[in-house]
């Protein structure tokens, strides 16, 4: 019998989350995230949009092989060819779901489909019936449901449930709804759709106005039983609903009597893993997983927390996997300790790959006495430059107070050596100016972010760059204990993407 209080977690980090420019993962990285999501206990993993690219198709196949318990879901448009390809990609999944749908708001119907309301219902029904020929579990999404009028939306939902949809997704695609409005929409559907008990209603909220979590909660409190979420709230524009926020709301608020099967202690390591693999920093004040989420700095708060933790802390950091006794590795730590700590963080390494990361680890431990979890995750993803054909050969910088910073740089471009020197208003500027004397393309630096990983003057720094070249944006990343080297490497990471 279905547990009426259980909330199903549908994670779309690898589909909606991965649509963010610069955050694309390769198949191996996606499998790593999918396995970690399985460890967290999500019910459904949306693994990709198979017709959109061979990479997505392949990732759905490989994730289907790699995970056991969660349902693997593939996205399609309400188009037969999309559904055929999704079914093929899901062939190895032990539990499988096709997620098909179409826009239902007047604006989508008129401008996107040049159609009318009746025809859209027919197309929706046809797609659901077609997908049911392949799988028993079909989810339908009514794109832009947030701006679809409730009466018409109820007709769509009723028709697709009759056609065999097991889950109906009500996306607030543009992040426009107010929480009361979104909650009322779910309530309206529960009260007006004939046969609504034959399917689960799902929330899918975007964060354009900062209301994704509030809207998701409003949906769940009004009867939706699935929430579509991403790690760290990653996603296009302002992102999707953050899984960690909904998970901890359900865990903290016993009064609302909704539960999940998540093992919340896996949240923090998974948050670090996704941030590191997707090169997407987590803002320090982000709820649940931000660096400052549990840092009490005011004297009054510190005093209260020391007397009784419950005075100012509503969540025990251990419940989300923040482990203040976490082992810090040093140059004396062996391969086994490194392997163990990476496994705790959700990364399994064996053989040659482990040896390579261990060598990098020893090099880092020479420069930095204590290696923490964030450093390890960066190391585990460190071979991103292995295929670069433009490599940093050497870098020398002179800087200080009362001198004009100057840098000389050497690049190895497909085996040929080039050198240049330049001045700048600081050491990073000087190094980039020198680099641009060798690579003379017309590129515009659009974003340049430097972030420390933890604390301490021997810390690693992460650099994210975005460069516009030929009307396209390219994203780069590097991490190094040397801030100037990290900046140049991140710049080169971008350049290597358009200078193949």
Residues that bind ligand KIV (CB under 6 A): 16, 141, 143, 169, 171, 173, 204, 206
- Calculate the CA 464 to chain-centre distance: 16
Cβ at position 43, least distance to Zn ion in Å: 18
Of residues 61 and 170, the one with the C-beta less far from ligand KIV: 170
Of residues 25 and 492, the one with the C-beta less far from Zn ion: 25
d(CA 158, CA 142): 12
Cβ at position 242, least distance to Zn ion in Å: 14
- Three-state secondary structure call for residue 205: strand
Of residues 206 and 272, the one with the C-beta less far from Zn ion: 206
Residues 6 or more apart whose CB falls under 8 angstroms from that of 44 comprise 8, 9, 10, 11, 70, 71, 72, 73, 97, 226
Residue carrying the six token digits 């923040």: 322
Q: Is the dihedral of CA 228, 229, 235, 240 positive or negative?
A: positive
143 binds, among Zn ion, ligand KIV, none (CB under 5 to 8 A by kind): ligand KIV
Question: What Rg value do the Cα atoms of the chain yield, rounded?
Answer: 25
Of residues 10 and 57, the one with the C-beta less far from ligand KIV: 10
The interface with Zn ion within residues 393-432 (CB under 5 A) comprises: none
d(CA 134, CA 96): 10
Cβ at position 148, least distance to ligand KIV in Å: 11
Determine how β-strand 416-423 pairs with β-strand 406-413: antiparallel
Element (H, E) at 461: strand 461-469
C-alpha distance from residue 484 to each of 300, 371, 403, 409, 464 (Å): 40, 20, 17, 11, 13
The β-bridge partners of 445 are 467
CA-closest candidate to residue 318, choices 251, 258, 231, 392:
251
C-alpha distance from residue 4 to each of 44, 76, 200, 212 (Å): 18, 29, 10, 23
Q: Which residues of 325-360 are buried (b: 16+ CB within 10 A; e: fewer)?
A: eeeebeeebeeeebbebbeebbbebeeeebeebbee
Of residues 169 and 279, the one with the C-beta less far from ligand KIV: 169
Cβ at position 87, least distance to Zn ion in Å: 22
Of residues 20 and 289, the one with the C-beta less far from Zn ion: 20
Cβ at position 204, least distance to Zn ion in Å: 6
Residue 233 falls in which region: left (phi positive, over 0), alpha (psi -120 to 50) or beta: left
Residue carrying the six token digits 């970690």: 36
Cβ at position 15, least distance to Zn ion in Å: 9
Of residues 17 and 70, the one with the C-beta less far from Zn ion: 17
Q: Cβ-closest residue to Zn ion?
A: 16
The interface with Zn ion within residues 16-75 (CB under 5 A) comprises: 16
CA-closest candidate to residue 230, choices 204, 249, 251:
204
The β-bridge partners of 396 are 408
Cβ at position 231, least distance to Zn ion in Å: 15
Of residues 147 and 341, the one with the C-beta less far from Zn ion: 147
The interface with Zn ion within residues 374-393 (CB under 5 A) comprises: none
233 binds, among ligand KIV, Zn ion, none (CB under 5 to 8 A by kind): none
Cβ at position 360, least distance to ligand KIV in Å: 37
The interface with Zn ion within residues 7-26 (CB under 5 A) comprises: 16
Cβ at position 457, least distance to Zn ion in Å: 42
Of residues 181 and 319, the one with the C-beta less far from ligand KIV: 181
Cβ at position 16, least distance to Zn ion in Å: 4
Of residues 16 and 137, the one with the C-beta less far from Zn ion: 16
The β-bridge partners of 461 are 452, 480
Which residues of this chain interact with Zn ion, rule CB under 5 A? 16
């Amino acid at each position: 019998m279905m547990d009426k209080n259980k909330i199903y977690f549908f994670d779309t980090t690898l589909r909606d989350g991965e649509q963010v420019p610069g955050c694309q993962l390769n198949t191996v990285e996606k499998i790593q995230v999918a396995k970690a999501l399985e460890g967290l206990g999500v019910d459904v993993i949306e693994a990709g949009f198979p017709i959109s690219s061979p990479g997505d198709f392949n990732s759905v196949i490989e994730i289907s092989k790699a995970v056991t318990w969660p349902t693997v879901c593939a996205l399609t448009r309400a188009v037969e060819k999309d559904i055929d390809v999704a079914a093929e990609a899901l062939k190895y999944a032990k539990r499988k779901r096709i997620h098909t749908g179409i826009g239902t708001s007047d604006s989508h119907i008129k401008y996107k489909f040049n159609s009318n309301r009746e025809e859209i219902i027919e197309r929706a029904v046809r797609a659901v019936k077609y997908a049911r020929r392949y799988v028993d579990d079909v989810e339908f999404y009514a794109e832009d449901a947030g701006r679809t009028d409730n009466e018409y939306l109820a007709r769509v939902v009723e028709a697709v449930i009759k056609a065999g949809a097991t889950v109906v997704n009500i996306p607030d695609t543009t992040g426009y709804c107010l929480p009361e409005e979104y909650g009322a929409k779910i309530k309206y559907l529960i009260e007006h759709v004939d046969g609504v008990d034959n399917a689960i209603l799902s929330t899918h909220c975007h964060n354009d106005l900062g209301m994704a979590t509030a809207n998701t909660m409003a949906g769940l409190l009004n009867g939706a039983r699935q929430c579509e979420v991403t790690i760290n709230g990653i996603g296009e524009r302002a992102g999707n609903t953050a899984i960690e926020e909904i998970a901890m709301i359900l865990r903290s608020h016993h009064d609302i009597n909704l539960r999940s099967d998540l093992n919340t202690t896996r949240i923090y390591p998974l948050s670090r893993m996704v941030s590191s693999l997707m090169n997407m920093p987590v803002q320090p004040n982000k709820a649940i997983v931000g660096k400052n989420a549990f840092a009490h700095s005011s004297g009054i708060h510190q005093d209260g927390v020391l007397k009784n933790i419950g005075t100012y802390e509503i969540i025990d950091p251990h419940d989300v996997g923040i482990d203040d006794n976490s082992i810090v590795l040093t140059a004396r730590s062996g391969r086994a300790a490194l392997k163990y700590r990476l496994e705790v963080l959700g990364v399994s390494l064996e053989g040659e790959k482990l040896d390579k990361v261990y060598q990098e680890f020893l090099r880092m431990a020479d420069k930095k006495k204590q290696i923490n979890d964030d450093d390890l995750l960066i190391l585990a993803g460190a071979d991103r430059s292995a295929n670069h054909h433009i490599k940093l050969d050497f870098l020398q910088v002179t800087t200080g107070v009362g001198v004009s910073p100057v840098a000389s740089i050497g690049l190895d471009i497909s085996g040929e050596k080039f050198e240049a020197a330049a001045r700048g208003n600081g050491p990073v500027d000087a190094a980039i100016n020198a680099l641009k004397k060798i690579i003379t393309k017309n590129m515009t630096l659009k974003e340049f972010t430097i972030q420390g990983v933890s604390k301490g003057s021997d810390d690693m720094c992460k650099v994210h760059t975005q460069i516009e070249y030929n009307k396209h944006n390219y994203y780069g990343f590097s991490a190094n204990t040397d801030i100037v080297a990290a900046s140049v490497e991140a710049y080169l990471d971008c350049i290597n993407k358009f200078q193949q």
